[in-house]
């Protein structure tokens, strides 16, 4: 048998605790030859609050943990009976074997975690009022017209010379007006 990646469902917010519990169980039950890596899929995310950029870790799949293991009855029981684990993803019915991730799926998730560029968290929607914090339109108040999540650009309509004018801004150049 070869090692494969499986996904286990956890109580929400307990992913890191499940990882720690599982690592302790693997060691205490001498399962290092069957259970290899436990990964909580996270990625860096840039958050802008009060004009300040902050990088934080964001769970890609909240409530899920990836486990690289050789699946047999013993390894299954060790993982399944870990506190905080509610079950394997892909198990259909009692007694059925869980379905592993394909190599492509596992590699995609791991490469997403290892990405160089942090993802920018944009919590704006069209119609919201924003203040321009930097650039030639600093201190102008406008309305979000469009949000391009891929490029982290925001099109804002500002009133200039008596008419609405669209300007494209970087996410970190604006802040919400409350």
Distance CA 49, CA 176 (A): 9
pLDDT band at 71 (very low <50, low <70, confident <90, very high): very high
Residues 33 and 93 in one domain: yes
Phi/psi for 99 (5° steps) reads -95, 125
How many domains does the chain fold into? 2
Q: List the one residue out of 48, 56, 6, 13 whose CA is nearest residue 176.
A: 48
Distance CA 62, CA 51 (A): 27
β-pair type (119-120, 42-49)? parallel
Residue of higher predicted confidence among 58 and 81 = 81
Kindly provide the residue ranges of all beta strands, DSSP E only, lying in 33-170, ordered along the sequence.
Answer: 35-39, 42-49, 52-59, 64-69, 85-88, 119-120, 129-132, 141-148, 153-160, 163-170
pLDDT band at 177 (very low <50, low <70, confident <90, very high): confident
Residues 102 and 149 in one domain: no
How confident is the model at residue 69, as a pLDDT?
97
Phi/psi for 75 (5° steps) reads -65, -35
Residues 61 and 79 in one domain: yes
- Of 11-15, 92-96, 98-102, 145-149, the poorest mean pLDDT is in 92-96
Residues 65 and 138 in one domain: no
- The residue from 120, 138, 158 where one domain ends is 120
- Of 17-21, 55-59, 153-157, the poorest mean pLDDT is in 55-59
Q: Kindly list the distances between the CA atom of residue 33 and the CA atoms of 7, 19, 26, 30, 37, in Å, as whole numbers in the listed order.
A: 19, 17, 9, 8, 11
Q: Quick check: 48 and 171 in contact, CB under 8 A?
A: yes
Residues 97 and 135 in one domain: no
- Of 66-80, 92-106, 143-157, the poorest mean pLDDT is in 92-106
How confident is the model at residue 32, as a pLDDT?
95
Residue of higher predicted confidence among 74 and 54 = 74
For 172, the token pair is 């970190």
Residues 29 and 113 in one domain: yes
Distance CA 5, CA 70 (A): 9
Average model confidence (pLDDT) for the chain? 87
The reported pTM is: 0.68
Residues 151 and 114 in one domain: no
Which CATH number belongs to the domain containing residue 147 in this structure? Answer: 2.30.30.30
Residues 116 and 134 in one domain: no
Is residue 171's pLDDT more than 90? Answer: no
pLDDT band at 164 (very low <50, low <70, confident <90, very high): very high
- The Cβ of residue 146 has, within 10 Å, a number of other Cβ atoms equal to 12
How confident is the model at residue 6, as a pLDDT?
96
How confident is the model at residue 23, as a pLDDT?
96
Distance CA 120, CA 80 (A): 35
How confident is the model at residue 52, as a pLDDT?
67
Residues 54 and 140 in one domain: no
Residues 25 and 104 in one domain: yes
pLDDT tens digits, residue range 132-163?
888 889 999 999 999 887 777 899 999 988 89
Which CATH number belongs to the domain containing residue 80 in this structure? Answer: 3.30.70.940
Q: Quick check: 178 and 123 in contact, CB under 8 A?
A: no
Can you give the residue range of the structural domain that contains 86?
4-120
């Amino acid at each position: 048998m070869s090692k494969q990646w499986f996904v286990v469902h956890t109580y929400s917010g307990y992913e890191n605790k499940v990882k720690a519990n599982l690592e302790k169980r693997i060691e205490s039950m001498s399962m290092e030859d069957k259970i290899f890596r436990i990964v909580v899929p996270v990625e860096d995310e840039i958050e802008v609050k009060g004009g300040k950029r902050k990088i934080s870790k964001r769970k890609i799949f909240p409530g899920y943990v990836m486990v690289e293991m050789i699946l047999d009855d013993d390894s299954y029981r060790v993982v399944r009976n870990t506190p905080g684990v509610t079950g394997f993803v892909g198990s259909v019915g009692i007694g059925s074997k869980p379905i592993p991730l394909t190599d492509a799926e596992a590699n995609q998730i791991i490469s997403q975690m290892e990405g160089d560029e942090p993802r920018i968290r944009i919590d704006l929607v069209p119609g919201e009022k924003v203040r321009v914090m930097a650039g030639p339109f600093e201190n102008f108040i406008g309305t979000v017209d469009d949000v391009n999540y891929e490029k982290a650009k925001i099109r804002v309509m500002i009133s200039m010379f008596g008419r609405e004018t669209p300007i494209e801004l970087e996410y970190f150049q604006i802040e919400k007006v409350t």
